[in-house]
Amino acid sequence: MIRYLIDTNLLLYPLDRRHPYKREKAGALLRILARKGNAALSIQVLGEFASVVLRKLDPPLPAEKVRQQVELLAEAFPVLALFYPVVLEALRGVERYRLSYFDAQLWALARLRGIPVILSEDFSPGSEIEGVRFVDPLEPDFDLDRL
């Protein structure tokens, strides 16, 4: 059963040398989740990951390396496709909860697929919207053994 949906920032930190603490903790998090088999990625998150590491990572990765990273992530985690109702639900999330569109799309996918937790540092930790809880696993007091 998929319990967690992983946000883009948690995929980026293991490649980002500017934040050693987050790099180490995010890397450990991804290894634990891959081993347990209880987390997934959305196709949106893989696209955002590719876009950021091609343009904003210092230094940016070449396209071939990005492709390899995306393939490794897709081998480690199920990749969930987006579908029409997700777009409509995301728009409801934007309107009702004032989420940014892409945050709302991640929330909508989790809600419609019955995934109870989004792992991200972009939301208010511990908040919940319609049965989907937001957890920041990079918080210093977050125990990775709880996953």
Cβ proximity of 132 and 116 under 8 Å: yes
DSSP calls for 70-133: HHHHHHHS-EEPP-HHHHHHHHHHHHHH---HHHHHHHHHHHHHT--EEE-SSS-TT-EETTEE
How far is residue 62 CA from its own chain's centroid?
22
pLDDT attached to residue 127 = 92
pLDDT attached to residue 83 = 95
pLDDT attached to residue 110 = 98
pLDDT attached to residue 17 = 87
Cβ-proximal residues to 125 (8 Å cutoff; 6+ apart), any chain? 134, 135, 136, 139
pLDDT attached to residue 147 = 87
From 105, 132, 135, select the one nearest 120 (Cα to Cα). 135
Instruction: Enter the pTM of the model.
Output: 0.94
pLDDT attached to residue 44 = 96
Domain ranges for the chain, please list them.
4-81+115-138
pLDDT attached to residue 123 = 85
pLDDT attached to residue 52 = 94
pLDDT under 50 in the chain at which residues?
Answer: none
Q: What is the largest CA-CA distance in the chain?
A: 40
